[in-house]
Amino acid sequence: MNRVLRAAAILAGVCGASLLFPLHLIRAQQQDGDARLARLDPATRAAVAAVVDSARRARLPAEPLIDKALEGEKKGADGGRIVIAVRGLYAELRSARAALGSGATVDEINAGANALHAGMPMRNLAQLRSASQHTGRARVTMPLTVATDLIARGVPVAVVSDVVLSLARAGLRDADYTMFERNVRLDIENGADAATAAQTRARGAMLHTGRAS
């Protein structure tokens, strides 16, 4: 009888484990992003997973790293290039958080990393944070996003840095930044010099707020 009970207990334990184990794997995969990274070859997947793990331990955004790896795979990049790109983004995320401060949000860190990748210096990110706080702005996601967009449209980095910092000191709201970016984009599309368009529209935006310098 004891042997029967023991066998039943063992069987119950095995069945319970078999039911719980897949759920445990699913949860682990959801947490670590393994299911998405499975599209990569084993060596690349291991290298990317290590960077993602480092980001999570450092409390940095991990999703952009996974997205970067999958983007590279989709474009047909080899494993080495994917790993280099992911590690580069990780370094930019760290630098962005260092420049913006430990209280920076995920969105701010992502926007800061994009701005750094576009060529904006770390010191400008720190200056932007300081100027924005001085005028009561809680987040710098919008100014950084606008800066990255302007650089992509051909406005020189030095001009973008000066313009966005001036706008921050003038206390522009998100809606003002959106309007400023749209006007610069339209000017460039209509043939205006990129730097001149940014500087001219910035002066107009600051006049609109009553804080032109």
Asked whether residue 142 falls in the same domain as residue 210, the answer is: yes
- pLDDT recorded at residue 130: 94
CB atoms near residue 125 (< 10 Å): 29
Q: Is residue 12 part of a domain?
A: no
CA distances from residue 41 to 37, 53, 64, 77, 209 in whole angstroms, order as listed: 9, 18, 19, 12, 54
What is the C-alpha to C-alpha distance for residues 74 and 30, in angstroms, rounded to an integer? 21
Is 25 inside a domain boundary? Answer: no
Does 201 share its domain with 127?
yes
140 neighbors 132 (Cβ within 8 angstroms): yes
Q: 156: domain range?
A: 121-213
- In this prediction, residues 24-40 reach a mean pLDDT of 60
Sign of CA dihedral 146, 147, 151, 152: negative
Q: What is the token pair recorded at 199?
A: 């500087």
- Report the range of poorest mean pLDDT among 26-35, 69-78, 112-121, 199-208: 26-35
Split into its structural domains, the chain has a count of 2
Is there a domain that residue 106 lies in? no
Q: Please give the mean pLDDT across all residues of the chain.
A: 86
